Copies of this chain bind each other. A is one copy, B any other.
Amino acid sequence: MDDMTSTADPDKRAPGRPRSARSEQAIIDAVLGMIADGEALETLSIESIAARAGVGKATIYRRWASRDQVVVDAVASLKLPVPEVAGESVRDDLVTLMSRIGQPSDQPRNGRVMSCLLPQVARNPDLHHWYQQVIEPRREVTRRVLRRGIETGELRPDLDVEVVLLVLAAPMIVQRTMRWNPAIDEVGLAERVVDAVLTGAAPG
């Protein structure tokens, strides 16, 4: 409750950050906490977010036009920045990019937020559209590496680019959030996934 109180009255905090940034962080934290506690998207409202964040509804509406936009920004806040790659070897760049996906994040709730939320996002056309705006720039970095590989001849010319994007990223998501196959050591997983996808299962 002490935490709630200090969050509810951010002006009493140390003066390092501007008031609006502190309120925004309290709102984002409230949304993430509610999702991590298992609340369904349908039950999140501007009212319930405001109550949990200890702010007035007007504070939320000053920054966001709708509940869906708050949720998208909250989820986006869990993402690492759009990555950069060295641009020398396609294999190395893919390993760099895949290593970042589904990383055990600094807050244990984050994995749960993502995995509970994404299937709900998938069923809500507006949210799904906005969420794509968050992940598409990240996917685009990998897509450009694949296209570069086709140009340099490091990848086959008839590559099924969209499916290869999925085939590279999905194993990282599934193994790191669900520990799907306990027989797989997570050390070096990105390398093994990239190499399996590059080499192919059929004989050369």
Which A residues have a C-beta under 8 Å from some C-beta of B?
A: 37-40, 43, 108, 111-112, 115-116, 118-123, 128, 132, 135, 139, 146, 149, 153-157, 159-160, 162-167, 169-171, 173-175, 177-184, 189, 192-193, 195-204
Contact = CB atoms under 8 A, between A and B. Distances in A.
A170 B173 CA distance: 8
Contacts of A119: 111-112, 115-116, 177-178
30 contacts: A38-B39, A112-B120, A115-B115, A115-B118, A115-B119, A119-B177, A122-B178, A128-B179, A146-B201, A153-B203, A156-B201, A156-B202, A163-B184, A163-B192, A164-B201, A165-B181, A166-B174, A166-B180, A166-B181, A166-B193, A167-B167, A167-B196, A167-B197, A170-B174, A173-B174, A173-B180, A174-B174, A198-B201, A198-B202, A200-B202
Given A146-B201, A164-B196, A167-B193, 19 more contacts: A37-B40, A38-B38, A115-B115, A115-B116, A128-B182, A139-B181, A155-B201, A156-B199, A156-B200, A156-B201, A162-B181, A166-B184, A170-B171, A170-B173, A170-B180, A197-B201, A198-B201, A198-B202, A200-B201
A107 to B, nearest CB: 13
Nearest to A173: B174
Interface class of chain A by DSSP:
helix
